[in-house]
Amino acid sequence: MKLMHTLLDRGLVNCLASLKASRSVAAIGRVSIASSTAVFLSVLTSGVSYAANVVNNSSFATPLAAGPVNTYLPGQTLGDWTVTSGSVDLLSNSYWHLNAGGQSIDLSGNEPGSISQNISTTPGTAYQLSFELAGNPDGKPSAKIGSVSFGSFTQNLTSDITNVTRSNLGDVEKSFLVPGSAITSSSTPLTFTSTTTGPYGPVLSGVSVSAVTTAADPVTAAADPVITAAVPEPTSPLLDTLAFGGLSAAYLLKRKLKQPCD
């Protein structure tokens, strides 16, 4: 009988030790998941900066428009921009009011056209591409459609002229992150194209291309947060969701260890 009690006591001790270990695993699992999430979020919100704009004649200030509307044909240039198809119109700053100010380009001159400029780039580097986009309100269709390409990156563009007038063109900034995989040369064409039938197309101004740089790599620069830093409890749905997997695994382990030991 004494031997049986001893065996039972040892079994109970082992069960308690296992349960304690499972609680430790659950706690570590929760902290690890939360810590990994914090590192992941720090990558997304790490100090990002942009180099100088590498687009020449970005606001189409050259040449100075001779009149309100000036049509350019394939092969003709506007500073560093070249008309590559169809025709485009250079509009003076007095023709209509842009939020960005200055001169602008209607990508449909007498018909849909395109303009292009070769940009000095570093292969494998990501770039931030931005510009002001509007639509010519002088005629239909209501939806002005076109596209932009930079290296292998391509993006369709649409601007709606509903309730738009010359005095308030309603241009908006469009911004896209071009991945480094799209840039494979030291000279990369940046091309804007209209696919809108007729002489009233998408309107372009204020073009910018800037290399993306980061101040530091938060993953390699940070010490192990599980060991060296206290991690706050998840307080957002995103953190709760990411932590759930680790907590569920720890919970199942703890539940199993709560069962009577053999």
92: its two tokens: 């003076």
> Residues 106, 136: contact at Cβ < 8 Å?
yes
Indicate the domain borders of the chain.
Answer: 49-214, 232-262
Instruction: Name which CATH class applies to 49-214.
Output: mainly beta
Q: Please give the biggest Cα pair distance in the chain.
A: 111
Q: What is the pLDDT of residue 44?
A: 47
Q: What is the pLDDT of residue 47?
A: 67
Of residues 96, 90, 92, 95, the one with CA closest to residue 108: 90
Each of the 262 residues of the chain gets a pLDDT tens digit; together they read 444 444 444 554 454 455 444 444 444 444 444 444 443 444 444 568 999 999 999 999 999 999 999 999 999 999 999 999 999 999 999 999 888 788 999 999 999 999 999 999 999 999 999 999 999 999 999 999 999 999 999 999 999 999 999 998 999 999 999 999 999 999 999 999 999 999 999 999 999 999 999 743 444 333 333 333 333 444 445 544 444 444 444 434 444 444 444 4
